[in-house]
Amino acid sequence: MKEIFERRSIRKYKNQEVEAEKIKKLLEAAVAAPSAGNEQPWHFIVIKDKKRLNQLAEIHPYAKMLKEAPLAIAVCADLNKQKYDGFWVQDCSAATQNILLEAVSLDLGAVWIGCHPAEDREKAISEYLEAPENVKTLSLISVGYPAEEKGKVDRLSDEIIHQEKW
Ligand X SMILES: Cc1cc2nc3c(=O)[nH]c(=O)nc-3n(C[C@H](O)[C@H](O)[C@H](O)COP(=O)(O)O)c2cc1C
Interface residues with ligand X (CB under 6 A) are 8-9, 11, 62, 111-114, 153
Q: Classify burial at 69, counting beta carbons within 10 Å of its beta carbon; exposed 0-12, middle 13-18, buried 19 or more.
A: buried
Minimum Å distance from CB 5 to ligand X?
10
Minimum Å distance from CB 73 to ligand X?
14
Query: Smaller CB distance to ligand X: residue 62 or 84?
Result: 62
Minimum Å distance from CB 46 to ligand X?
19
Minimum Å distance from CB 24 to ligand X?
24
- Chain position whose Cβ is nearest to ligand X: 114
List CB contacts of 10: < 8 A, sequence separation 6 or more: 109, 110, 111, 144, 146, 148, 150
CB 116 within 8 A of CB 122: yes
In this structure, what are the phi and psi dihedrals at residue 64, rounded to the nearest 5 degrees?
-65, -25
Query: Smaller CB distance to ligand X: residue 2 or 24?
Result: 2
Query: Smaller CB distance to ligand X: residue 80 or 100?
Result: 100
d(CA 34, CA 40): 8
Query: Smaller CB distance to ligand X: residue 10 or 135?
Result: 10
